[in-house]
A and B are shown apart, each in its own frame.
Chain A
Amino acid sequence: MDTHAALYEQGKQRLETLRSLPRRHDETIFDKMAQHGITRRDFMKWSASVTAMLALPLPFSTLVAEAAELADRVPLIWLHMAECTGCSESLVRADTPNLDTLIFDHISLEYHETLMAAAGWQAEENLEHALETYKGNYLLAVEGAIPTANNGAFLTVGCKGHTGLEIIKHAAEGAAAIVSVGTCASFGGVQAAYPNPTGAKGVHEVISKPVINLGGCPPSEKNIVGTLMYFIMFGKLPALDMFNRPKWAYGARVHDNCERRGRFDAGEFVEEFGDHGAKEGYCLYKVGCKGPYTYNNCPTERFNHHTSWPVLAGHGCMGCSEPNFWDDMADFEKPLGRQLLHGLDATADTIGAVILGATVVGIGAHAVASVFAQAKED
């Protein structure tokens, strides 16, 4: 059996198991779709596009469809730590009228402080109840970094005054899988930038279980939804890169799929914001774009119902899905130059050469850098 056939078999068995579990919502996904005026045909189109996004062959789209249908069997607990709520905001921005949103409507979201009606003592009860009732089965999504300095006292949540650190350790114990949503939960984020006064860390640094990191400040709702769908479908983590990010979303450099890549190859650069090149859509490398050092699917998926992404709006990528980018990639409006950056310093040299006019050399060296990056990840 080839790899895909084995994976397909695994998905089928997983979904069969889920099907045997009790539903937590009375309505099926199809009822919900009907209420939103979404046809079964739309649904199959969505399944196909999620399948493509997850880098799976088209036959898997029937599994995607079935996984969406069975999403209500997987309880989701979403915790807020040291954060700005931008990731939750990204989540509620899913397109309209849209199936991603329906998935969340349909998923069993047991705890989410920004959205839930209960407050205070009653909210804390909901959390304790969910952690206990669904022990071993729930998906844990974490938004925000974990302050660790001074025993984590820079963050307490709930009437009982538990620290964020205590809550994460406790919640991680019973989780079937843990997803760090956004750069703060993944790598510490902005509060972990030098000098990191609160000792903020990514979730994987404070617990001893595998964690999926969804870098991005915030990650697009596509990357959040896709990751959850993968887990529902296969009951395991997807293939991950060297920073535990799903390869299907973070496998290619922003630079590789950038709409301005042709300008880069032609040596056409914006020299100053608002200049002729800016009006013409030239490459933003010289005004600080970090696309060559950043792994994410922003150019293909974009944000807010595909409305835009930073490079389209004329601002370079700031590298927000990479660890330590606040320190390693600043200044954000200047080219990175020759810094060592997880093995990709070769790329920086390359770009230096391109700016000097050696475009052809640049493209060749680019390919070399890509191979190098691949080797590091594997």
Chain B
Amino acid sequence: MSQRVVIDPITRIEGHLRIEVEVDENNVIQNAWSSSTLWRGIEVILKGRTPMDVGLIVQRICGVCTYSHYRCGTEAVENALGVKIPLNAKYLRSLMQTSLYMHDHIVHFYHLHGLDWVDVVSALSADPAKAAQVALKYTDKPIAAGEGELKAVQERVKGFVEKGQLGPFANAYWGNGTYKFTPEQNLIALSHYLKALEVQRVAAEMLAIFGGKQPHPQSLVVGGVTSVRDMLSPARLQEWKQKHAYVTDFIKRAYQADIVMAAEAFGTEPSVLGGVNVKNFLATDDFVLADGEYMFNGGVIMNGDLAGVSDINPDLIAEDVTHAWYSADTAQHPYDGTTVPNYTGFVERDTVYGKLPTLDGDGKYSWVKSPRYNGEPVEVGPLSSLLVSYARGNKVVVDAVNGLLARTGLPVEALFTTLGRTAARMLQTVIVADEGLRTFDALLTNIQSDEATYVKPEIDPAKEYVGHAMIEAPRGMLSHWIRIKGGKVENYQAVVPTTWNAGPKDANGKIGPYEASLIGLKLEDPTKPLEVIRIIHSFDPCMACSVHVMDFKGASLSEFKVSPNGL
């Protein structure tokens, strides 16, 4: 007798995500559905506006990877208009991207994902003295993990747990058998959770130095960057470098150590040994190090074949809406896509929590489309980026990956797991922090003889332009596609990381990475589906990003079929 489990809201993410799974009598997941339950319509809003404003508007797609959309939108317009920005602008954009990654990955691991790995209640029974010794096992210079600090953290949390008032930690899945850290390990990680709250603020300040603020920086323009005074100020440059050193220190002494600790503790836990069931990976060249040099490489890996990595062909990208709340007959390339919203609501049925409105898996069930590469679903994200660079023989990446495998004693196959996905994010952060300094040095050298930060773009209203940009956002490959006509935006589309990963099944019944990652997973208690949340969080969901629309092509809003609760 199968049972339906509904999880909504998936918390500790950006946006609104609903996951439903069907488990058999042994609580093994047989089927899974991923749905975004919000639609905002930003691409519709872009139509008819000046291409110069695109970056600022698309940035509002997401307040987390806020800079990624800003940059990608701006660069799509530059690509369309044929604008070549000055070298300093490239470097500054790369430094802002470095800052964003150092911020975003830390926040994701500790504050959004961390509580899926760390049992806060268990940490309270730890012996702080013993925990301080345990911390030394994973790094010879632990941070926020001395006996006194750990004791203070424990006391801090103990107070409200004893009163039964957990505050933001209330009603979670504490005690679930798939938490594998010892009390001491939980305490170390909990201490880092709190420390990371401070560190992430400094990482955000790094971006604000050249970006004006974070979230929603405001210093990119079509043709370059505006923060020329900050770039030319030795004090500002030093401020960035000092904050960079502080954040890097935490990444090396806490984040890196915690992943090694997790690999050891969770290395035999079934719920994190699967979770990479779409073995196709897509990533693009990104992070300018010097003129023409990139930190990470682009390419496509199909069927997990690292030897067969190939170049991306942008023509092979298409989006399918068979099971999304839009109407279209066939999968469409982003330049020519249509979007006609067609909301069909929910279907009432029995679930583990009683009768509830549920997703109509046979029909339409999400505001997210299903992007496909050459007709196949692909995964994007830090794991994809590292695998592609690894397959390309990128020395820095090869050394980092091999180093971690040696350190943890895990085989290469361990990369193709939820654990591997989580570890890849950490490795990427370490590489970004280290290599980002090469960009910084290149900037310092260049400004000795070149202060240019901007070239004025020209638009001829009589001409039509088409362009796109592909970059790596913290959640994976992001592409923006634009058509310009009469000097205005004619059509605009964003194919974003979470769309690649979270989309519903397509016309051929092929399921995307989220759904595939859950099939075969056994739940300890279907009413408390911690394992599902842990796997979904490992993708770092960002739902507002994924919910985008394209061109209405004359479709009328009044034609939508709507049934709010599907009842």
Q: List residues of chain A with CB under 8 Å of any chain B CB.
A: 24-27, 35, 80, 82-90, 92-97, 101, 108-109, 112-126, 147, 149-164, 166, 189-191, 193-198, 200, 217-218, 272-274, 278-279, 281, 302-305, 307-315, 318, 326, 330-333
Minimum distance in angstroms from B537 CB to a CB of chain A: 9
Q: Are A310 and B219 in contact (CB under 8 A)?
A: yes
Q: Are A157 and B16 in contact (CB under 8 A)?
A: yes
Q: Which residue of A has the minimal Cβ distance to B165?
A: A24
Q: Which residue of B has the minimal Cβ distance to A312?
A: B212
A-B contact pairs, 30 of them (CB 8 A): A27-B160, A80-B15, A82-B38, A82-B40, A84-B63, A84-B66, A86-B60, A92-B197, A117-B170, A119-B7, A119-B11, A121-B6, A121-B7, A126-B170, A126-B171, A150-B564, A155-B38, A157-B8, A157-B37, A159-B8, A159-B351, A218-B63, A273-B226, A279-B451, A303-B212, A312-B229, A314-B227, A318-B56, A331-B53, A333-B221
Q: Known contacts A125-B171, A153-B345, A161-B356; decide if A309 and B565 are in contact (CB<8 Å).
A: no
Q: Which residues of A contact B245 (CB under 8 A)?
A: none
Q: Which residues of B contact A161 (CB under 8 A)?
A: 8, 346, 356-357, 564-566
Q: Which residues of A contact B12 (CB under 8 A)?
A: 113-117, 119
Q: Is B232 part of the binding interface, using a Cβ–Cβ cutoff of 8 Å?
A: yes
Q: Are B198 and A303 in contact (CB under 8 A)?
A: no
A-facing residues in B40-98 (Cβ within 8 Å) = 40-42, 44-45, 49-50, 52-53, 56-57, 60-64, 66, 86
Q: Is B453 part of the binding interface, using a Cβ–Cβ cutoff of 8 Å?
A: yes
| CA of A89 to CA of B302, assembled, Å | 36
Q: Which residue of B has the minimal Cβ distance to A156?
A: B37
Minimum distance in angstroms from B229 CB to a CB of chain A: 6
Q: Known contacts A25-B167, A189-B60; decide if A313 and B14 are in contact (CB<8 Å).
A: no
Q: Is B141 part of the binding interface, using a Cβ–Cβ cutoff of 8 Å?
A: no
Q: Known contacts A25-B160, A304-B214, A313-B219; decide if A122 and B52 are in contact (CB<8 Å).
A: no
Q: Which residues of A contact B412 (CB under 8 A)?
A: none
Minimum distance in angstroms from B392 CB to a CB of chain A: 33
Residue in contact with B218 in the complex, picked from A95, A160, A310, CB distance below 8 Å: A310
With a 10 A CB-CB cut-off, give which of B42, B45, B224, B454 has the most chain A CB atoms.
Answer: B45
Q: Are A274 and B52 in contact (CB under 8 A)?
A: no
Q: Which residues of B contact A149 (CB under 8 A)?
A: 557, 560
Q: Which residues of A contact B557 (CB under 8 A)?
A: 149, 197
Q: Are B229 and A281 in contact (CB under 8 A)?
A: yes
Q: Is B208 part of the binding interface, using a Cβ–Cβ cutoff of 8 Å?
A: yes
Minimum distance in angstroms from B243 CB to a CB of chain A: 9
Minimum distance in angstroms from B196 CB to a CB of chain A: 11
| CA of A121 to CA of B353, assembled, Å | 8
The 4 tightest CB contacts between A and B, nearest first, are: A86-B63, A313-B212, A274-B454, A314-B226
Q: Which residue of B has the minimal Cβ distance to A305?
A: B205
Q: Are A153 and B213 in contact (CB under 8 A)?
A: no
| CA of A151 to CA of B13, assembled, Å | 26
Q: Are B564 and A89 in contact (CB under 8 A)?
A: no
Q: Is B211 part of the binding interface, using a Cβ–Cβ cutoff of 8 Å?
A: yes
Q: Which residues of B contact A90 (CB under 8 A)?
A: 63, 215
Q: Are B566 and A85 in contact (CB under 8 A)?
A: no
Q: Are B169 and A117 in contact (CB under 8 A)?
A: yes
Q: Which residue of A has the minimal Cβ distance to B86?
A: A274
Q: Known contacts A92-B197, A274-B228; decide if A122 and B204 are in contact (CB<8 Å).
A: no
Q: Mark B126-151, 1 if CB is under 8 A from A, else 0.
A: 00000000000000000000000000
Q: Which residues of A contact B168 (CB under 8 A)?
A: 109, 112, 115-117
Minimum distance in angstroms from B236 CB to a CB of chain A: 9
Q: Which residues of B contact A307 (CB under 8 A)?
A: 205, 208-209, 213
Q: Which residues of A contact B173 (CB under 8 A)?
A: 122
Q: Which residues of B contact A194 (CB under 8 A)?
A: 45
Q: Is B202 part of the binding interface, using a Cβ–Cβ cutoff of 8 Å?
A: yes
Q: Are A278 and B544 in contact (CB under 8 A)?
A: no
Q: Are B214 and A273 in contact (CB under 8 A)?
A: no
Q: Which residues of B contact A108 (CB under 8 A)?
A: 167
Q: Are A94 and B201 in contact (CB under 8 A)?
A: yes
Q: Which residues of B contact A114 (CB under 8 A)?
A: 11-14, 112
Q: Are B7 and A96 in contact (CB under 8 A)?
A: no
Q: Which residue of B has the minimal Cβ distance to A72?
A: B167
Q: Which residue of B has the minimal Cβ distance to A81?
A: B38
Q: Which residue of B has the minimal Cβ distance to A121?
A: B353
In the complex, identify which listed stretch (B284-292, B370-378, B526-534) lies at the interface while the others stay far away. B526-534
Q: Is B185 part of the binding interface, using a Cβ–Cβ cutoff of 8 Å?
A: no
Q: Which residue of B has the minimal Cβ distance to A24?
A: B165
Minimum distance in angstroms from B366 CB to a CB of chain A: 12
| CA of A151 to CA of B562, assembled, Å | 8
Q: Is B437 part of the binding interface, using a Cβ–Cβ cutoff of 8 Å?
A: no
| CA of A157 to CA of B17, assembled, Å | 8
Q: Is B273 part of the binding interface, using a Cβ–Cβ cutoff of 8 Å?
A: no
Minimum distance in angstroms from A125 CB to a CB of chain B: 6
Minimum distance in angstroms from B162 CB to a CB of chain A: 8
Residue in contact with A118 in the complex, picked from B170, B200, B224, CB distance below 8 Å: B170
| CA of A218 to CA of B64, assembled, Å | 12
With a 10 A CB-CB cut-off, give which of B52, B53, B86, B115 has the most chain A CB atoms.
Answer: B53
| CA of A189 to CA of B56, assembled, Å | 13
Besides the contacts A117-B172, A190-B45, what 11 more A-B pairs have beta carbons closer than 8 Å?
A27-B156, A85-B63, A88-B63, A117-B169, A120-B7, A120-B8, A154-B40, A155-B16, A302-B213, A308-B211, A315-B221
| CA of A195 to CA of B66, assembled, Å | 23
Q: Are A120 and B170 in contact (CB under 8 A)?
A: no
Q: Are B9 and A157 in contact (CB under 8 A)?
A: yes
Residue in contact with B57 in the complex, picked from A89, A122, A190, CB distance below 8 Å: A190
| CA of A339 to CA of B564, assembled, Å | 39
Q: Are B6 and A109 in contact (CB under 8 A)?
A: no
Q: Are B564 and A332 in contact (CB under 8 A)?
A: no
Q: Is B349 part of the binding interface, using a Cβ–Cβ cutoff of 8 Å?
A: no
Minimum distance in angstroms from B35 CB to a CB of chain A: 9
Q: Which residues of B contact A119 (CB under 8 A)?
A: 7, 9-12, 172, 533
Q: Are B356 and A160 in contact (CB under 8 A)?
A: yes
Q: Are A84 and B62 in contact (CB under 8 A)?
A: yes
Q: Is B441 part of the binding interface, using a Cβ–Cβ cutoff of 8 Å?
A: no
A-facing residues in B359-394 (Cβ within 8 Å) = none
| CA of A314 to CA of B233, assembled, Å | 13
Minimum distance in angstroms from B235 CB to a CB of chain A: 12
Q: Is B403 part of the binding interface, using a Cβ–Cβ cutoff of 8 Å?
A: no
Q: Is B466 part of the binding interface, using a Cβ–Cβ cutoff of 8 Å?
A: no
Q: Which residues of A contact B209 (CB under 8 A)?
A: 307-308
Minimum distance in angstroms from A85 CB to a CB of chain B: 4
Q: Which residue of B has the minimal Cβ distance to A329?
A: B53
With a 10 A CB-CB cut-off, give which of A35, A115, A281, A303 has the most chain B CB atoms.
Answer: A303
Q: Are A150 and B560 in contact (CB under 8 A)?
A: yes
Q: Are A309 and B228 in contact (CB under 8 A)?
A: no
Minimum distance in angstroms from A184 CB to a CB of chain B: 9
Q: Are A153 and B11 in contact (CB under 8 A)?
A: no
With a 10 A CB-CB cut-off, give which of B16, B42, B566 has the most chain A CB atoms.
Answer: B16
With a 10 A CB-CB cut-off, give which of A86, A95, A126, A333 has the most chain B CB atoms.
Answer: A86
Q: Known contacts A93-B214, A155-B38; decide if A86 and B172 are in contact (CB<8 Å).
A: no
